[in-house]
Amino acid sequence: MKRNKIGFRIGIVILVAFFVVILSSGLAIDRMFSNFYNSEMRTEVNELTTHFTAMSESPEMLSDKALLKFADFSNVSIVFVSEQGEVLANSGLYQLTDQTFIKPKDLKELFNGKTIELEHTDANKERYFVAAKPVMDTTGVNIKAAVYVLSSTHHMDESISAVRNVLVLSGGGAFLLALGITWIIAQILSRPLLQIQAATRKIAAGDLETRLTLHRDDEIGVLADSINHLAVELQRYRDTRQEFFANISHELRTPITYLEGYAQVLKNHLYETEEEKDRYLVIIQEESIRLQHLVNDLFELAKMEEGKISLTLEWVDLAEIADNAVQKIKLKARDKNLSLKTMINKDIPLIYGDGLRMEQILINLLENAVRYTEKGSINIELDQNRSYLYLVVEDTGIGIPETDIPYIFDRFYRVEKSRSRQHGGTGLGLPIAKKLVELQGGKLHVSSKLGEGSRFELRFVPGNQEG
């Protein structure tokens, strides 16, 4: 079975975090207890030292012998020292063979009336808290001796050691518990990531129908939705690309077949009259032109989709562009006995765009209107409202079925392939027009009714184009 690397790494991170927390907590508790015991013991030794000093100074108190017995009862050792460092009396378990805790410097301070605190470790490595105070004589003026009180830290160290043992055991138990919790958390956190990993591998391998079913209101859920959206887009792109190649193959095959067939006829002199020969040459010419238009349209559309098309932007007059386009389409409309009706407002503001491209868009829409209109008229309207300028091309032609309207801007899409081919379209004019409009900051809207005609409307917001 393949190792769960994601779960392992997540587990390591969580386990390290648990370990740091447990170790920090243990050290903090140990320090707290150690400081508490040390503080309590120091306070106790200082209080006993003060008490013994007061008892030694008072003539009404017990004798020195009774005082030392009292010290034995208190589980401390007491040592009376002269100014020269000579031990005058002592009591308790401390062995006076080691008198290194009595330092000349400390004696000097004691006989100057100061108090001394220190820690002492004897030859047996046993530790003591030591407090020392001066003992006044009966006059209360002169210092007759110094009293040292030594308290062993043995019991305190045992208590701290016991606390540390408890901390180690509880820390070990907590670490084992954390290990189990970490494994569960790592599995829970890594499971969706593993699903995402498996899904992305399938998508990368070409299985674009793969979908993630992670319904989560967090970043992982957002990531899963993004991957599902990516799969949908890739699938759409693949289907579109396949359809594009199929369409382009079909579009190229037809004129090439005509060219090859009629060229073969001419080469083998399979015609009877010069008129028939001229007719074949006209067909070859028309199909060559069709093929050239198709290649040019494909090249232009590819440049637009890659963002490589260059526009010459300037302030242009849509009224002038509309007049020019109408003049160029008049002959084709007259050949089909179609009337051109124009309603052009000459007072509309200029827009920032490419004049030649704008004329190309309008001529494309007008040629489509002429191509798919057999009788009636074609209306061209240019005006503005409070929100935008609008340029309308409306015909009384065959119209577009409602179900086909969402797809007419797709490459090579035709409502009726046979009729479209009869009228000479490539299926690229509208996609190119839409792209050019959008590149100039406008929008192209369409509405149509089957058998009644179609309406294409260009919209531009004045001042929305940047110079």
CA distance 110 to 101: 13
Does residue 368 or residue 297 have the better pLDDT?
Answer: 368
**Joined tokens for residue 463:** 């001042």
CA distance 242 to 142: 113
The bridge status of strand 443-449 relative to strand 339-344 is: unpaired
Cα torsion 49, 54, 57, 63: sign: negative
Mean pLDDT of 225-240: 83
Does residue 217 or residue 454 have the better pLDDT?
Answer: 454
CATH tag, 314-460 = 3.30.565.10
User: Tell me, what's the pLDDT at 419?
Assistant: 42
Query: Confidence band (pLDDT; 50, 70, 90) for 445?
Result: very high
User: Tell me, what's the pLDDT at 455?
Assistant: 93
- Indicate the average pLDDT of the chain: 81
Q: Are 355 and 315 in contact (CB under 8 A)?
A: no
| Pick from 393, 429, 400, 403: nearest CA to 416 | 400
Specify burial of residue 133 (Cβ count, 10 A radius: 0-12, 13-18, 19+).
buried
User: Mean pLDDT highest for which of 190-204, 283-297, 386-400?
Assistant: 386-400
Share of the chain above pLDDT 90, in %: 9
Mean pLDDT of 90-104: 76
Query: Confidence band (pLDDT; 50, 70, 90) for 71?
Result: low
Does residue 356 or residue 310 have the better pLDDT?
Answer: 356
Does residue 254 or residue 373 have the better pLDDT?
Answer: 373
User: Tell me, what's the pLDDT at 467?
Assistant: 41
| Pick from 398, 387, 393: nearest CA to 444 | 393
Query: Confidence band (pLDDT; 50, 70, 90) for 73?
Result: low
**Joined tokens for residue 214:** 């992670």
For the ranges 21-30, 82-91, 344-353, 390-399, the lowest mean pLDDT is seen at 82-91
User: Tell me, what's the pLDDT at 444?
Assistant: 92
Question: Who contacts 141 (Cβ-Cβ below 8 Å, separation ≥6)?
Answer: none
Within 10 Å of residue 415's Cβ, how many Cβ atoms? 18
Helices and strands in the chain: count of H runs, count of E runs? 10, 12
Does residue 59 or residue 430 have the better pLDDT?
Answer: 430
Distances (CA, A) of 265 to 272, 277, 401: 11, 9, 41
Instruction: Return the axis-axis angle of helices 429-439 and 274-305, rounded to nearest 10°.
Output: 30
The bridge status of strand 377-384 relative to strand 389-395 is: antiparallel
> Does the pLDDT of residue 200 top 90, yes or no?
no
Burial 148-175 (b: 16+ CB within 10 A, else e): bbbbbbeebeeebeebbeebeeebeebe
> Does the pLDDT of residue 417 top 70, yes or no?
no
Q: Are 61 and 67 in contact (CB under 8 A)?
A: yes
Mean pLDDT of 251-265: 83
Within 10 Å of residue 364's Cβ, how many Cβ atoms? 19
Tens digits of per-residue pLDDT, 160-193? 888 888 888 888 888 888 888 878 877 777 788 7
The bridge status of strand 339-344 relative to strand 377-384 is: parallel
Within 10 Å of residue 362's Cβ, how many Cβ atoms? 25
User: Tell me, what's the pLDDT at 1?
Assistant: 41
Superfamily classification of domain 5-159: PAS domain (3.30.450.20)
> Does the pLDDT of residue 418 top 50, yes or no?
no
Indicate the domain borders of the chain.
Answer: 5-159, 240-305, 314-460
User: Matching CATH topology for 240-305 and 314-460?
Assistant: no
User: Tell me, what's the pLDDT at 93?
Assistant: 66
3-state secondary structure 372-437: CCCCCEEEEEEEECCCCEEEEEEECCCCCCCCCHHHCCCCCCCCCHHHHHHHCCCCCHHHHHHHHH
Within 10 Å of residue 147's Cβ, how many Cβ atoms? 25
CATH tag, 240-305 = 1.10.287.130
Specify burial of residue 77 (Cβ count, 10 A radius: 0-12, 13-18, 19+).
buried
Tens digits of per-residue pLDDT, 148-158? 888 888 888 88
Indicate the SS3 state at residue 202.
helix
Rg from Cα positions in the chain: 51
User: Mean pLDDT highest for which of 248-262, 303-317, 441-455?
Assistant: 441-455
User: Tell me, what's the pLDDT at 404?
Assistant: 82
